[in-house]
Amino acid sequence: MNVIFLLITASTIVAGVFLAAFMWAVKSGQFEDDRSPAVRMLAENDLRSTPPSETK
Amino acid sequence: MTARTGTEVKCYHCGETCREEHRVHEEKDFCCQGCQVVYDLLQESGLCEYYRLEDRPGTRHKAAAEEARPELFDLPEVRDRLVEYSEDGITRVRLHIPQMHCSSCIWLLENLHKLQPAIIRSRVRFTDKELTVTFREAQLGLRGLVELLRRVGYGPLLTGRSGEQRKGPGIPRTLYIKLGVAGFCFGNIMLFSFPEYLGADTADGTLLKGFQFLNFVFSLPVVFVSSTDFFRSAWAGLRGRRINIDQPIALGIIALFLRSTLDAVTGAGPGYFDSLAGLIFFLLIGRWYQAYTYSALSFDRTLNDFLPLAVLRRKGDKEEPASVGDLRPGDRIVIRDQELVPVDAILRSGIGNIDNSFITGEPLPVKRNVGDTVRAGGRQRGAAIELEVLRAFQDSHLKRLWEEHTGDHERPLMPRTIDAVARRFTVAVLLIATGAGLYWWGHDARQVWPVVTAVLIVACPCALALAMPFAYGHTIRLLGRRGLFLRDAEVVERMAFINAVVFDKTGTLTAREAYDMAFVGVPLTAQERMLVRSVARNSTHPLSAVLYNGIKAPLKDAVFVEEEAGEGIGGMVDGVTVRIGSVRFCSGAPVEREPGVAQVHVSIGGVHRGRFDVRKRARSGMAESVAGIGAKARTYLLTGDATVDGDVAAAFTPGAMRTGCTPPEKARFVRELQADGTRVMMVGDGLNDAGALQQSDIGVTVSESSAALSPASDAILDARSLADLPAMLHLARRARRIVFASLAISLMYNVTGVSFAVSGHLTPLVAAILMPLSSVSVVGFVTLAIWWAARDLGLASRT
């Protein structure tokens, strides 16, 4: 039965990592502008086909 | 790629209807030279993705009259405000660009480096309509950047507030963190509580003990991080000797935490940690919903938002940009077409054609001659003028007008329903807890602590606290979709009490730039109409534009065109002299001028042919709106004009109209209405309504575009949605009734819970089921009911 303590510790740590990731996301402002990232994603492919350096 | 709806052709770039300047270029229709130029520019740089993301995304050049002149960006003061960072020739600036409105805008603004290699990176923050650009300043310069942006139709707005640190996003970051922490702990605690509820083999005591300990550990961040707002608000209420909804909540949280900890330590039971975490998680969701606002719209405006930051000052024969605050009496300033006069001044050269729409809502310009005074806030339309500063900005008429309004802010405070309910609720809870405690003291003293804490726990008004944010939050969203943007949830509640609505006329009920015109005199022949229209096309005066757009006739080229500012325009078409303008200009006999009607006289071949009477058109839906509101509330009309005519007058009863109102009189009128407890909504637009908007219980500004200048208010109404206003008021009233119904439901849950608690049967399992159940069902009921009410009133769909 002792293995469950190990499992719980492991799972809690994993969960904690996700919590930390969430906090990082909030602090980096990802929840503040929900419109432009969506558009940015759509345009990404085009950016790669003509990288800025190739234009005049 | 041409779009033809009927006979109308829409511009490929901006989507406006193509009129006379219509041109076809690369098989695409354009409404004007400007749009075509932008298209060519984007085409050359391989940026036509712009046109694929959204249909006709461009902004038309004329709409950008409020943009600042590029040379002002050379001013060190301006540069300092906008530059966030500058090192090794690499500079980052933050610009406010209210024109951005769609995916294509974002895309283009973030691909500026393709247009101009000196730009390294540009990023949009759409919610704030801000663009951050990193560029090599040596190669481009701030001014060059601004010129580039203007060329593609996104000239930045430069007002006193540009570059200032905003108050931050609508929803604070800490709220997200608190919500995240609470959700995280709630999930874990639920998992660890399951074995207990399922009656897992209790023989292995250490396992359950371990789970309890973990629950305790996870509850710590919930209590000490996530619920700080509730404690703070409860404490603030206590200190102010006011009872608010957060006090019973804070009491419940404390009771939950202490009881659970004690139970866990003494081994009396598993504790209520899951209920605790769930409670706070749900409450925070309510907070988050409530915090939803239209952060891109500014409801709090200062005068600096409207005025240009700098103007051109003439020194000797040189012109240099100077900041408005530095202008001293006697300075000479140059104001060009479409620019605002920032201070009171005397016209020294040129002819003033001043549009005071920002101050009064009246878009027709008035003429000013050399030596006349021009008040701050007027916009010049026509050739550049030179003015002598009469008073420094601090002493200007405009500044005084503004401060008069914002200085004494004596809005009668309306009691919030939730506070009134909370007061009774808290008293009742404390009475029940005391009563139950006393009862058990007499019967079984060991039961006092569990019963009292159980009462406090289960009576925690979670559902009560959720009902209002969800009901009003949902209403705000639905109204926003229909074009009424409210400052916050409290405005919905105040809206429900409104029983008088006061309208401003000019610019509010009448459209800013839509006119009706009628010809007085012997009707013009088709040939004459062609002559008039061909000449009118050469003038930028709004009345000429009305004639040009209103007359249906082909066009011919006019020669010898001469415009006399403020008087009229003359020219020759097909060898015939045509003059349009004032009576004098067209050598007609003076006629009595009807108030509110502008006259445009016409003379052809030197003979006065008659005149066009031009009157402002009432906004579509105006009559329905006023009539609809009139069914439930009193309606009044205030105007600075001497008389009210036409459709607008017909919409009101004669006694409910006040003419010739000065701005302070408008505010006074509202205050007089309020004297007997009437709740007044003021609907206005110009700065002359600002005082009345502040005085009223809800100030609504009517706006034709979200970037337009409008005074401070509680709500912004899209001019196209005017007809929906009665239904919107109705929805607010329904929302309040729905809140009351949901309060009844949540009280029912509380009564059930309390009956468990006083009898000593509130086990953790019962609490864990009852509390989330009540919250979820109340939120569900409220959301559905509001949606249903909106659908019933025809407000559920997007416009």
Tell whether B55 and B74 lie within a shared domain: no
What percent of chain B lies above the pLDDT cut of 70?
Answer: 87
Tell me the pLDDT band of B6, cut-offs 50, 70 and 90.
very low
Tens-digit pLDDT profile for residues B600-643:
888 888 888 888 888 777 788 888 888 888 888 889 988 877 77
Tell whether B487 and B535 lie within a shared domain: no
pLDDT at residue number B442: 86
What value does the mean pLDDT of chain B take? 80
CB contact under 8 A, A39 and B169: no
Which residue among B53, B114, B210 sits closest to A5, beta carbon to beta carbon? B210
Tell whether B94 and B47 lie within a shared domain: no
Instruction: Single out the residue in B22, B38, B61 at which a domain terminates.
Output: B61
Task: Tell me which of B105, B112, B125, B126 to substitute to probe the interface with A (most A C-beta atoms closer than 10 Å).
Answer: B126
Tell whether B281 and B430 lie within a shared domain: yes
pLDDT at residue number A51: 39
Tell me the pLDDT band of B118, cut-offs 50, 70 and 90.
confident
**pLDDT of B424 higher than 50:** yes
pLDDT at residue number B781: 93
Structural domain total, chain B: 6
Residue B561 covered by a domain: yes
More confident residue, B728 or B160: B728
Tell me which chain B residues have a C-beta less than 8 angstroms from the C-beta of A52.
113-114, 117
Tens-digit pLDDT profile for residues B468-504:
888 888 898 888 888 888 887 788 888 988 989 999 8
d(CA B570, CA B672): 51
CB contact under 8 A, A26 and B173: yes
Residue B408 covered by a domain: no
Three-state SS for B602? Answer: strand
Q: Where are the alpha helices (DSSP H) in B267-348?
A: 273-290
DSSP run (H or E) holding B670: helix B663-674
Tell whether B177 and B289 lie within a shared domain: yes
Q: What is the dihedral of CA B682, B686, B692, B696, to 10 degrees?
A: 30
Tens-digit pLDDT profile for residues B57-94:
776 654 444 455 666 777 777 777 788 888 888 888 88
CA-based nearest residue to B2, from B36, B25, B33: B25
**pLDDT of B138 higher than 60:** yes
CATH of the domain at B356: 2.70.150.10
Residue B645 covered by a domain: yes
DSSP run (H or E) holding B315: strand B310-315
pLDDT at residue number B59: 67
Edge to edge, what strands does the sheet with B366-368 contain? B366-368, B352-355, B379-380
Residue B437 covered by a domain: yes
Instruction: Single out the residue in B96, B121, B151 at which a domain terminates.
Output: B151
Tell me the pLDDT band of B129, cut-offs 50, 70 and 90.
confident
More confident residue, B392 or B731: B731
Q: How many CB pairs under 8 A join A and B?
A: 75
Tell whether B501 and B638 lie within a shared domain: yes
Tell me the pLDDT band of B798, cut-offs 50, 70 and 90.
low
pLDDT at residue number B185: 93
What percent of chain B lies above the pLDDT cut of 90?
Answer: 9
Tell whether B626 and B753 lie within a shared domain: no
CATH of the domain at B667: 3.40.50.1000
Tell whether B491 and B614 lie within a shared domain: no
Which residue among A5, A12, A34 sits closest to B188, beta carbon to beta carbon? A12
Residue B564 covered by a domain: yes
CB contact under 8 A, A39 and B173: no
Residue B157 covered by a domain: no
Tell me the pLDDT band of B223, cut-offs 50, 70 and 90.
very high
Instruction: Single out the residue in B618, B646, B676 at which a domain terminates.
Output: B618
Residue B404 covered by a domain: no
Q: Which residue type, as a one-letter code, is found at position B134? A: T
Tell whether B680 and B771 lie within a shared domain: no
Whether residue B434 contacts residue B451, with contact meaning beta carbons closer than 8 Å, is answered with no
Other beta carbons within 10 angstroms of residue B289's beta carbon come to: 21
Which residues form the domain of B431?
173-293+416-471+734-792
Whether residue B675 contacts residue B702, with contact meaning beta carbons closer than 8 Å, is answered with no
CB contact under 8 A, A26 and B180: yes
**pLDDT of A54 higher than 50:** no
pLDDT at residue number A21: 94
Which residue among A19, A29, A40 sits closest to B184, beta carbon to beta carbon? A19
**pLDDT of B725 higher than 70:** yes
**pLDDT of B412 higher than 90:** no
Residue B397 covered by a domain: no
CATH of the domain at B524: 3.40.1110.10
Tell whether B597 and B501 lie within a shared domain: no
Tell whether B605 and B530 lie within a shared domain: yes
pLDDT at residue number A22: 93
- Mean pLDDT, to the nearest integer, of B192-218? 78
pLDDT at residue number B675: 87
CATH of the domain at B69: 3.30.70.100
d(CA B353, CA B335): 11
Tell me the pLDDT band of B767, cut-offs 50, 70 and 90.
confident
Tell me which chain A residues have a C-beta less than 8 angstroms from the C-beta of B45.
55
**pLDDT of A50 higher than 60:** no
B125 close to A (CB below 8 A): yes
B720 close to A (CB below 8 A): no
B127 close to A (CB below 8 A): yes
Tell me the pLDDT band of B294, cut-offs 50, 70 and 90.
low
Task: Tell me which of B133, B184, B186, B214 to substitute to probe the interface with A (most A C-beta atoms closer than 10 Å).
Answer: B184
- Mean pLDDT, to the nearest integer, of B9-18? 76
Tell whether B499 and B556 lie within a shared domain: no
**Shortest Cα distance, chain B CAs vs residue A25, angstroms:** 10
Tell me the pLDDT band of B306, cut-offs 50, 70 and 90.
low
